[in-house]
Chain A
Amino acid sequence: MLHRTDRAERTGTAGRRAPHQGPPERSVPAGPPVRSRPPRLLVAAALVVAALAALPLVWLLVRVAGADPDRVLALLVRSRTVTLAVNSALLVTFVSAGCLVLGLLTATLLARVRLPRPGLWWVLAALPLAVPSYLLAFAVLAVRPESRGLVPLVAVLVLACTPYVTLPAAAALRAADTGPEDAARTLGRGPVAAFCRVTLPQALPAAFAGTLLAALYTLSDFGAPALLRYESFTWAVQAAYEGTIDRTGAAVTALVLAALTLLLVVAERTARRRWTRAGATTAVHRIPPARLGRGGTAFAVTGLGAVAAVTLLGPPVVLVGRIVAAGGVSVDWARLASAAWSTLLLAGSAAVLAVVMALPVGMLAARYRGRLVAAVESTAYLGQGLPGVVVGLSLVFFSLAVVPGLYQTAAVLVFGYAVLYLPKAVGATRASVERVPVEAEEVARTLGRSGPATWWAVTARQAWPGVAAGGLLVMVTAMKELPATLMLRPTGVDTLATQLWAQTSLGAYGAAAPAALALLLLACVPAALLVRAGTERPGDSSRRPGAADRRRSDDRVPMTGDR
């Protein structure tokens, strides 16, 4: 049985380790043991990956350092920087709060209430991962063209980002120890009060980690703010990139944005540390999912259904409506197919590259400790704090200056995706490798297998589903990525996202519909696979809570490495 803090830590943080985590000698079956020294080659490979992940930020720094200092200073201290920061802070605050509330509500319903067809609700809660926020914004605009500013944008982003909170929080709730809750109830607390007082806090670290991902997504989102015309930081970087002849402005704004995101990451760590409980119980008690009664169940199902319908059905319905209103659109099938193919190919390559890059870092982090390991892992997580627009911009500079032969080739774009989404893959790899009992490896060794053979026969076989889930997550996110794709894509190559973007920003909503529908369909496939990988028939879990819950809370981990 897992240590409780350990469990909360894992469900919540996908691989980033809180510094205060328990002493290494604690012997838990799936826990990370400490071996004195990692193999040199593993360290070397992880160092190379960390260097590659740091490349964009370093290059951006070099670029800004090389610019005229007066100009940089003038750009930094102007009042617009403050305006943008305030705008972004407001946006992030409201979206985070909204996601936290909605996500915890949904998670509670999923984890603690007996619902008809529980598996369906898990899938519906996860699928918004496949819906790009700009598509939701575009649906809002198609219905109410005068929409603009903070309110509609918050609504859109809350809908798009809630799964980041729901999924880890629900997993943590399932894994939570409800023994104290029973105790609280015997002491006279009502069921809701007891739950809120005792059990909910156990899910908070996971929920906060999820909220961080929602906040990071919000800060880095370009499409939805642009469509709803809210001047956020990312929007401003893109505007400076498109609208000024001197790229210094874009680079400086991008650096400020990167600093803001890193600040968010630190803030979340602090909050999570405060909420993570130090105490542990030896046994975990569970109470079965609550029955709400007919009315309550109907209410819960209606609520869950409404959120899912707005998010998942809203865009397609509005799009089809626009096609009908335009009297049908002529679809350039060849072009659509080629954009779909490019999307698959680019996102697929990005997933493979991210997983390959994540392997040494994830394995190192799963099995070894130390300052070097922590540094490598943190560096690999840089992508989590770097919006697409920053990575895009820095790789434009980098490829032109250092590898002009690769400039505007798919290689740079795929590399950009891999840097951006490396944290997802590292989190997944680390969590999956950690879950493989070291004892199993040792048994294999004593039976005479060599190191690599052991790794292949034992570790790889058990870890690969989690690693693959990380790859799927990279794929689904890369498919809808916009700003880096706009900057880095090879000339003449369209992805579904860029095609859709070009047409929606022209107001050609009817013409944009086919690409949008295709993107939704394509992205749903990895998203659904991901849910399957993560939930393992949630319906079963009520019957054998221990096994299923343990698996869920662990398998859920890749999801929380998301941003």
Chain B
Amino acid sequence: MTRSTRRGVLAGAFLTVSLLVAACGGGTPAEPAPAEDGQRSLTLYSGRDEDLIGPLIQQFQEQSGITVDTRYGSTTEMAAQLGEEGANTPAQVFLSQESGALGALADGGAFAPLPGDVTGAVPAEYTSTDGSWVGLTGRARVLAYNTRVPEAEVPADVKELTGPEWNGRVGIAPTNASFQAFVTAMRLVDGDDATRQWLTDIRDNDPQIFPRNTAILEAVDNGAVDVGLINHYYVAAAETTPANTALKFGAPGTASALVNVTGAAILAGAAESAEAQELVAFLVSQPAQEYFATETGEYPLIEGVAGPADMPALAEMGAPDVDLADLKDLDATTQLLTEVGLL
């Protein structure tokens, strides 16, 4: 036998053995990160973009001395991943872009109940009813439009975007959780059939498909599309101020005027984790809520923190009468999007 053969065999054997060992030992759930030499750490799955919450996590790390390992991805991706990982998940905290994914996971028993002082900090309409997750910030669906389009021409209801005059001019992000939550809201307000019809019509109207809200905003601002469906705060969070973009808030009472929340939850396996509780408590504390209002332009949800500048008040938005907890039927929404061919 030649040397390389032996080496090859050894390598193969090593791999096989390590895979087998891991397979046998792998049945147990991933342990929360142990406190090595006094170092405290936790794993966070974030469905929110790093540029929006990265600085806040940094602030928490400095303040608490806890190292946060953050996995960034889309909210839907993280929800699917948590579903797939089940009890094996290495995550202790989940941060979601919207309430539906939180509701869906809570229904599957993925979360540990939060302490009362955390859930109690936020008004009941902006958080879970059973204390499985807590709302962090409010955000409104808006139509961002390039200012070369006269304001009067921009509809306040997205239903009008299916007309021929909007052919090829609309940007949407079907993979984005906020878009999906809005579709879920439309299903609740208008019914599944009307929603399927609207999705079919908008798909046939040659929309421009983007991976994220930020990309839509950039395209609206540089004129690549005329209007785009996004959340209100992306303008405030952009790297360079979008000078050519204005926002149109949705017509009161319609799904276009949906006000959703971002939220956080502690995974069931991390129920006892002090680090996880510290992080969630931090997120509803005054400094964090002020960060959201001033840095990302979102609506803070605790009392005594002023809302973002130059934005209408949350209460005057005319949001449709939708219980945020009812947005949890994410699976049916993504199936609908798949069915009409937007996913």
Chain A positions within 8 Å of B6 at CB level:
41, 452
Residue interface mask B110-150, A partner, CB < 8 A = 1? 00000000000000000000000000000000000000000
| B77–A241 CB distance below 8 A | yes
Interface of A is mostly: helix
Binding site for B on A (CB under 8 A): 39, 41-42, 44-46, 48-49, 52, 75, 78-80, 83, 145-146, 148, 226, 229, 231, 239-247, 249, 326, 353, 356-357, 359-360, 363, 396-397, 400, 402-408, 411, 415, 451-452, 455-456, 459-460, 486, 491-492, 502-503, 505-511
| A502–B50 CB distance below 8 A | yes
| A452–B341 CB distance below 8 A | no
From residue 1 to 59 of chain B, which have CB atoms closer than 8 A to chain A? 1-9, 11-13, 15-16, 18-19, 22-23, 25-27, 30, 43, 45, 49-51
Expressed in whole angstroms, the Cα–Cα distance for A370 and B15 within the complex equals 27
Of the residues B3, B11, B18, B240, contact of A452 by C-beta under 8 Å? B3
Of the residues B71, B80, B104, contact of A244 by C-beta under 8 Å? B80
| A403–B19 CB distance below 8 A | yes
| B22–A403 CB distance below 8 A | yes
| B240–A326 CB distance below 8 A | yes
Known: A42-B2, A45-B12, A359-B4. 16 other contacts (CB 8 A): A52-B15, A78-B339, A145-B223, A239-B343, A359-B11, A363-B4, A404-B27, A404-B88, A405-B23, A451-B1, A486-B73, A491-B45, A502-B72, A506-B239, A507-B214, A507-B215
| A505–B215 CB distance below 8 A | yes
Number of A-B contacts (CB under 8 A): 206
| B74–A146 CB distance below 8 A | no
Residue interface mask B187-214, A partner, CB < 8 A = 1? 0000000000000000000001111101
**Given that A326-B239, A408-B90 are contacting pairs, would A245 and B26 also be in contact in the complex, using a CB cutoff of 8 Å?**
no
Of the residues A243, A406, A408, contact of B174 by C-beta under 8 Å? A243
Chain B positions within 8 Å of A359 at CB level:
4, 7-8, 11
Residue interface mask B306-343, A partner, CB < 8 A = 1? 00000000000000000000000011001101110101
Closest to B223 in A: A146
Chain A positions within 8 Å of B74 at CB level:
242-243
Of the residues A243, A408, A507, contact of B239 by C-beta under 8 Å? A507
| A239–B211 CB distance below 8 A | yes
Expressed in whole angstroms, the Cα–Cα distance for A229 and B176 within the complex equals 15
**Given that A247-B80, A357-B11 are contacting pairs, would A242 and B175 also be in contact in the complex, using a CB cutoff of 8 Å?**
yes
Of the residues B22, B175, B215, contact of A406 by C-beta under 8 Å? B22
* Interface check B267, CB cutoff 8 A: no
* Interface check B224, CB cutoff 8 A: yes
From residue 54 to 106 of chain B, which have CB atoms closer than 8 A to chain A? 69-74, 76-77, 79-81, 83-85, 88, 90-91, 101, 104
Closest to B333 in A: A245
Expressed in whole angstroms, the Cα–Cα distance for A491 and B45 within the complex equals 8
| A244–B338 CB distance below 8 A | yes
| B341–A83 CB distance below 8 A | yes
| A455–B3 CB distance below 8 A | yes
| B238–A45 CB distance below 8 A | no
User: Which of B8, B12, B49, B338 has the most A CB atoms < 10 Å from its CB?
Assistant: B8
Distance in Å: Cβ of B56 to nearest Cβ of chain A:
16
**Given that A146-B223, A508-B239 are contacting pairs, would A491 and B4 also be in contact in the complex, using a CB cutoff of 8 Å?**
no
Of the residues B104, B218, B240, B341, contact of A79 by C-beta under 8 Å? B341
Expressed in whole angstroms, the Cα–Cα distance for A407 and B87 within the complex equals 13
Expressed in whole angstroms, the Cα–Cα distance for A275 and B208 within the complex equals 42
